[in-house]
Amino acid sequence: MKVCIIIPNYNHTKYLRRSIESAICQTYKNVEVLVVDDGSNDQDEIRNIVNEMKLADTRIFFHAIEKNTGKWNALNEAIKITDCELITTLDADDVCPPDRIERQVAVFSNLPETLHVLTGFWHCWSNDEVEEHVKKLQSGPLQIISADQIRNLVMWGKKTPGINHYFTGNVETAGASAMFHKIVWDLGIRFNPPGVGLRVLLSEDSDFNFRVTSLLGRTVILNEKLYCYRRNTSTNEETM
């Protein structure tokens, strides 16, 4: 199965090259990396970075959106133009270990009824932490949490006051780590804009993952840390 790794970018020039490197250097080789720039202030520079990297690896592609409209739109635009069977994302300021895609695809292979797989993640406060955790490869059997258990947790979280995210109990998942069959998007489950009453949950990632889990019931969590999430970038309005 071919996997499209979508990297939505908005003003993350500082981190983008490392993010692309981590996506293209996966042990699972049947991938394309689609960088979607959402109207960055330095879009020409972003284009140059991607085109330079594409000279070394033709699996890298670039799509530009002229005006900043939001991550939700960038993701929908990317999914619309790819013909890959499986879709996943990687935020432009984040990094993933080289076995992430292989481990997630293995879930689909082992559990063919699965439509949607999330993973755990490392909280990273510095480049050193990113580079330390990205080297930690998984081994042994897949650590899977079943679809029924996930759906029960997520629905409980939705009904609980004060919880406005994709709730999975003691298992932390990265919203951007979701991998799903494109059929999910083709069925009409989209990344929704804010402020127009379409979102069930606060962020586009949480909302999308909630809708897939609650409506289709074929979500599995791979309880392994396969995503390095930078906590000190403008995305989170956090500083070192």
Q: What tens digit of pLDDT does each residue of 144-202 get?
A: 999 999 999 999 999 999 998 999 999 999 999 999 999 999 999 999 999 888 999 99
DSSP 3-state of 33: strand
Report which of 173, 152, 183 is spatially closest to residue 221, judged by C-alpha positions: 173
Could you say which architecture CATH assigns to the domain 3-236?
Alpha-Beta Complex (3.90)
> What is the pLDDT confidence band of residue 240, given thresholds at 50, 70 and 90?
very low
What digits encode the pLDDT tens for the residues 56-112? Answer: 999 999 999 999 999 999 999 999 999 999 999 999 999 999 999 999 999 999 999
From residue 110, give the alpha-carbon distance in Å to each of 5, 57, 127, 139, 202. Answer: 21, 30, 34, 16, 32
Return the pLDDT at 234: 58
Place of tokens 């069959």: 181
Q: What Å distances lie between residue 167 and 90, 153, 163, CA to CA?
A: 20, 6, 7
Closest listed residue to residue 192, CA positions, set 178, 208, 179, 177 = 208
